[in-house]
Structure formats: structure tokens, C-alpha cells
A and B are shown apart, each in its own frame.
Chain A
Amino acid sequence: MSERILTKRRRLLAAASALPILSAFASARAQAPQDVVLTNVSYDPTRELYKAINDAFAKQWQASTGQKVTVRASHGGSGKQARSVIDGLEADVVTLALAGDIDAIARESKRLPDNWQSRLPNNSSPYTSTIVFVVRRGNPKGIKDWPDLARQGVSVVTPNPKTSGGARWNYLAAWAYELDRVEGDQAAARKFVEAIYRNVPVLDSGARGSTTTFAQRAVGDVAISWENEAFLILQEFGADKFEIVVPLFSILAEPPVALVDAVVDKRGTRKVAQAYLDFLYSPAAQKIIARNFYRPVKPDAADPADLARFPKIKLVTIDQVFGGWAKAQAEHFADGGQFDRIYKPSGKAVVR
């Protein structure tokens, strides 16, 4: 008797055990029909910028169309964010640290066309930035320009280029500087960059982690940083503790933005997503951009006081020096590339 009941129970339990798992899968998000939600997948240091932009855009869009729009933001390391979009994160727009990451999305997922970068003005970059140095108050090590970072006894903080988009700009800026100085001698540039990385005691995985290591943990004499991030360090941690040192030569960082066609068509958000990207080039947005320490591509609309904060630097582009992101990525940051070759087995792997 008990055998029969057990068999029955067994079947019931088998069925019941599958249920909760299935119902967990079935959860869906509810949305009011007229309201619209956009997802902007962005990189690390743009949090403050897009907080301001999103509010401004929502106001403007509601005023002109009557529709309520909420822009949800996701921030993280640029490469990690790109991978999430490839793996299916439904981003209506992506606003990443470098074109190489959006190229990867186009190549790996086909969610946007290969020519995405030509669809918006200025290589799809509504703002630019560059790479500068942050030092401790009084600049005790007398850091002035790139060669000072390669000096013995100077401790340099920069994140890992393998995991951080900003760190790639840092690395390429150093390389471009030396290449310019020695007039194209790649071997010399390599030696120079290697000397800088010999001075790096901590390779954080992201730009923000690196900032914290430098500012909070008091590690290092100089941090290589995005220009906007450098201003933010002064603002957040106190201008009485840190100083910005601007090198005479640096790289023009062009963080691009793009519409993810497959997602906006599926969700029916193409119009508002396109408007969001166009808005970035509008005078109102350009003003916000300058206020948040990014260099606006249309400076006319920006507050002159904000613009005055950006020093004049000789800037080169990645296309001029490295022949574009695809080439730079393969040569420098791919597995076994130039960056990997800086680090060699020390013979004794664990220092105890």
C-alpha cells in the first residue's frame, strides 16, 4: 500500500520540483504603455555626466512630445559592458570608452552595422577627453611630463589595460608621446612604456578602483587618469590634497556613442533612442558636458568659465599614431601583445 502512495507522491514531487524554477523564469517586467524606458549602457566615469544628461533629456522630450521617458543607466568597465551587450543585455544605446568596444559589439553580435561610427557627427563622439596626471599636493616628486613617470623611484598608479578602457588610453598616450619624441622608433617607445609600468605597484581592474587606491589608500606618487576623472578627484577628495599636472603632449580620447539597431527595433524605441543620441550634440547637452569636465565637440554652447578649465595640450588621435582601434587592440592588448610582453616571469612567482 505504502509503495503505491509513494510512487504517486514521487511523481507529484517531481512535477512540483520543476514548478518554482519555471515560474522564476517567467517573471517579466511590467511597463505602462505610454511611458518609455531607454537603457543606456555606459562605462565607468560617465555616471555623473549621464545622470545630468538623462534628467535634461527627459524634460526636453516630455515638453516636445508629451511622452514620459526614463533613461536607465548601467555603468561598468567598458570591455565588460560591451561583453554584456554581446551576451544579450538589451541596451538601446551604448556610450563606451573606446570605439574598439563598440566595434566588438558590431562584429560579435551583429546588433548594429559595421559602419556605426559614421552615423553621427565627429566619429560618433559628442565629447572628447584626454589623459592627464594627478599628483599629491605640492607635487613632491616634481612630475611635469611623461618622462618623469619612467624615472626610478616614482610610483605610478594606472589600471590594467586588459580590463579597463581608460587604462588603454593611458598606455597609448605614453606610447604616442615617446614615439613622437624619438620620431617613430617603436622599440624605444616600447622600452619607455615598459619603464613606466615597472613603476606601477598596483594594477586595479578599473579606473575608479585605481583612483581609490591612489586617493584613499595613499599608494603612488602620480595617477594617470582621464581628464574628467582628474577634476572629479579634486572635487571629491579635496583640491587641498591633490593637484592636476598637464603633460605637454597627450592623446585625444574620443568616447563614442551608438544606437543598437537590433534592440531598438525589437523594443520599438528607435525614435526616442535616436533623439537621445542627437540630444547629446544639442547646445543644452554640450553645456552639461563641459560642466562635467568633458571637452564638448561644440564648445560655442558651453559656459566659457567651464571651457577655461581645459588647458591647451598637443593632442594626437589614435588613427594618426596607431592606425585605429582594431590595429592598436591587436598589437598592444591582445593575448601575447605588447602589453603582455612587459611582464615576464620573475623566476620566483610568489614573493613571500
Chain B
Amino acid sequence: MRSALSEGRAVRWTLIALGVGFLALFLVIPLLAVFSEALRRGMEPFLAAFDEPDTQSAIGLTLLVAAIAVPLNLVFGVAAAWAVAKFEFRGKSILVSLIDLPFSVSPVVAGLVYVLLFGAKGLLGPLMDDWQFKIIFAVPGIVLATIFVTFPFIARELIPLMQEQGTAEEEAALTLGASGWRTFLTVTLPNVRWALLYGVLLCNARAMGEFGAVSVVSGHIRGLTNTMPLHVEILYNEYNFVAAFAVASLLAGLALVTLGAKSVLEWRYGDGLARIHRH
């Protein structure tokens, strides 16, 4: 019998087939291809790829860069979302568009702007040289480029949700005498924790996977300024396909694990939370 509240069987399975087919074609098969290339010669060459000191230093650098870039963007995302979602002011839509801007900047250009700013022939280049301060072709440049490309992720997750939630709950807490900071911690934060977690996960995944922008400012010095994605390219260009895809599969695996963890959390606690925040 057809219900007025859900689609007929045929429609439902057609949609599932379409959705799953689309994901398979564009996501699952490429992912399988990465893992199958990595394991093409069995486990041993796969594991051997991680024994290389250059690979290890690339992994270390990637973790370091993400550990700096993600928290900074987290603080920014929360601050921006608070200002944009809880207040009405002139120029808000321009501010929101500007926050999105890094998405629309080609990663190549994202790297280029820092070269124009801090490079030897850049605006601040001579100054940096006097101070013995290396930005471009060193870790700070890689961090900056990474912050740039992952800039909007957390703010983007928070703004629509906080806008939708309005200000009533916070106002109630303030009326009851809570301080602003306490209101944020006990009222706002619990309401957005999933979006926040989600934004952090995406930001982190992108920070670890960024290639184009980092490639411009890195200098590609083995064991020094190579991040994991750059190392993948290097290995690939050395015809070391197994090792290249092994490192790539580590990146993909890392993403899958964090996303899996998120799903589990959501599944175990999400329903209760959803009920709380709806009322």
C-alpha cells in the first residue's frame, strides 16, 4: 500500500540505486583503486613504504601543520559564527561571502599570494630576510597556505546552524544571570557540538590533504618541507607506485577512520541530542 508520507517502493529503490550508483562511480571505485594499487604487491611492500625516513618526516610535518592550522581556524570559525549568527549588522552578507572566498581561490593562487608577500622578491621578503625569518619554503609558509585553504570550513558549518537556532536560548540564560562566557559554554556550544565536530573533521582532512597551495610554498625538499600529499607526488614521479598509493591510502584511511568515529558518536548520542536541541 502506498503511504502519503513516503515514496513507493519503486521510487525508493530507484533513488537508492541512483544515489549509490553515483557514489560508486565517483567515490567508491576511485577509493578502491587507491587501496588496490597500494596493496598490488601484497602487504610487505605496502608496509615497507612507511619505513622510509622521508615518508616518516612527511607524516610528521603533515600532523604538525594540521595541529597548528585546525585550532586557529576553529577559534576563528566560532568567533565568526557568533558575530554573524547572533547579531544583525550592516555588511553581514559581504562578510559571509568573504569568509567563503578562500574556497573560490585556486589553490595555486593561494600559494602564490604568500610568495608575492613573503618571497625573496615579495613585498615583505627583504624584511623577512633581515630578520632571518623564513616563511616561504619553510614550515610557516606551509602552515599559512594550509590555513588559507581550510579557512571557511568550520565557520561554514556553524553559521547556518546557529542562524537557524536564533538567540532565544542565549537570551534566556542571560536573563537568568549567566555570564556571556558561561552562556556560550553551556547553551550555545552544546547546541552546535555536532556541527563543530564535523567542521573540525573536514578542516583537518582538508588540511592534511592539501596539495596545490602547499606545493607552491614548499620547495619540495625531501625530509624537510615535504608534506604527505607532496610526498605522494614525489613517490609517484619516481615510478614507486606502490609506495605512493600506500601513503595516499594512509591519508584516505585517516579520513575514513575519523569520519567513522564521527558516525559512531552521532549514532550513539545523536538522537538524544537532536531531541534536546529541537526544544
Residue ranges of A at the interface with B (Cβ–Cβ < 8 Å): 2, 6, 9, 17, 20-21, 24-29, 39, 41, 44, 47-48, 72-76, 84, 86-90, 108-109, 206, 208-209, 212, 232, 236-237
Contacts and interface: CB of A to CB of B under 8 A. Distances in A.
B221 A72 contact: yes
Contacts of A48: 238
B133 A44 contact: no
B135 interface: yes
B180 interface: yes
Contacts of B75: 17
Nearest to B230: A76
B219 A108 contact: no
Contact of A87 (B122, B180, B224): B122
Contacts of A108: 121
Contacts of B180: 2, 6
A21 B72 contact: yes
30 contacts: A2-B179, A2-B180, A6-B180, A17-B75, A20-B71, A24-B139, A24-B140, A27-B139, A27-B140, A29-B138, A29-B224, A47-B237, A72-B221, A72-B222, A73-B221, A73-B222, A74-B221, A75-B220, A76-B220, A86-B120, A87-B119, A87-B122, A87-B137, A88-B119, A88-B137, A89-B137, A109-B120, A109-B121, A206-B237, A209-B237
A39 B221 contact: yes
A24 B4 CA distance: 58
B140 A88 contact: no
B136 A24 contact: no
A154 to B, nearest CB: 26
Interface string B136-176: 11111001100000000000000000000000000000000
Contact of B133 (A6, A25, A39, A208): A25
Return the 8 tightest CB-CB contacts between A and B, nearest first.
A88-B120, A87-B119, A208-B237, A236-B239, A89-B219, A89-B137, A74-B220, A25-B140
Contact of A72 (B71, B133, B223): B223
Contacts of B135: 25
A109 B237 CA distance: 29
Contacts of A84: 137, 219-220
B125 to A, nearest CB: 6
Contacts of A20: 68, 71-72
A212 B220 CA distance: 21
B237 to A, nearest CB: 4
B115 interface: yes
Interface residues of B, number: 35
Contacts of B140: 24-25, 27
Contacts of A27: 138-140
Q: Name, among A25, A39, A88, the residue most crowded by chain B CB atoms within 10 Å (CB to CB).
A: A88
Nearest to A108: B121
B234 interface: yes
Contacts of B143: 24
A26 B138 CA distance: 11
Nearest to B223: A72
Contacts of A237: 239
Given A39-B221, A47-B237, A90 B137 contact: yes
Given A27-B140, A109-B120, 5 more contacts: A2-B180, A24-B68, A39-B221, A74-B221, A87-B120
A74 B139 contact: no
Contacts of A88: 119-121, 125, 129, 136-137
Contacts of A26: 133
B220 A87 contact: no
Nearest to A71: B222
Contacts of A39: 221
B120 A47 contact: no
Q: Name, among A25, A48, A86, A212, the residue most crowded by chain B CB atoms within 10 Å (CB to CB).
A: A25
Nearest to A21: B72
Contacts of B222: 72-74
A242 to B, nearest CB: 13
A237 B241 CA distance: 11
Contacts of B136: 87-89
Contacts of B139: 24, 27
